Structure 1
Amino acid sequence: MSATHPDTSPDDGEALDPQQLGAYFVLMEAVSLLQHQVEQQLRAEGDLSYVQFQLLARLADAQGPLTMTQLADGVVYSRSGLTYQAGLLEKAGLITRAPGRDDERATLVTITDDGMALFGRVLPGHVQGVRRLLFDPMSDDNLHHLGDIMTRVRDHMRAQPPRSAAPRKRRTPPAAPTAP
């Protein structure tokens, strides 16, 4: 039910109420400010984009290679964008890519020793920045509530099929000209 019209559902395209709109804008501003600072630190200390850092972090935490699909679902990034970013990391010697053992259509990605070393070098500054910007102004109770809220929101969003599960758009060939 909508706060302004009890007979309408929140999915009917009705405008957000002032409290919803305010919360949305504050969330988006905070995320943008945090991401900007994180990206600045990653560029300065490792010449990495945020997405590249996410890829290295996921691979560093994995117990072996991950597929490109697993990485795309984990970092919520397009297939083509992820392929491009992985290509840059591979060219820099930070990851390797190889065909899957059981499924040659799958591409397995592994972090290299150089990739682990770079990740280890940028991680302390990343943690320090996140702690200073995000966690320092919060009490333990605030942190607990934020974690609960964001977990609920994330789980709700993740209930939808991952982007990598969506069928790829196929180009439709142009129609053949018809005879007069």
Structure 2
Amino acid sequence: MRPALLIIDMINLFDFEGGNQLGVHALKACGPIATLRQAFADRNWPVLFANDNFMDWNQEFTDLVAKCRQHPGPSSEIAAVLGPKPGEYYVLKPRHSGFLCTTLPAILADLKLQELVITGVATDSCVLATVQDAHMRGYKVRVPQDCVAAQTPSRSTRAFALMRESMSLDTRGAKTVLRSLAAEQ
């Protein structure tokens, strides 16, 4: 079963209340996400972005990437590392979950994917909502703990507890998740 890497809301200006804190923590997750992304590319496994459009329906994902590259701080650093590459997929989402009112379910079905490695921000908001939707839809889900971020570590801790206890999800680090995926192929 071929997995997909789903990167949530990492292309982000972090220009909202609590955004500065989130940006600092997101920057720490950027390296492990980039490592996973390269490993997925090396194996020809799909990489997808589910990104907030911040209710600007006239903005394309590439426009947001360009804005982030020009924005000082974590936004530009993250966009430089995680900006989309040819062959990667993206959906713009109007709310928290990557599944709500997006083409994500259609893309996953078309690619015949049943397993997701979910990364990004915020652990206790958009990541959690997407994880719950994926789990309810029957996808096998993994959430590497070093590939997500929230405004505070305690918010991530609470979200991880919920993921592990109510959904029995694998939340080990990226390297361990990658080894596990490789062994299953």
TM over 0.5: no
TM-score (norm 1): 0.26
Higher helix share: 1
State the structure with more CA Rg.
Answer: 1
Normalised by the size of structure 2, how large is the TM-score? Answer: 0.26
More strand by percentage? 2
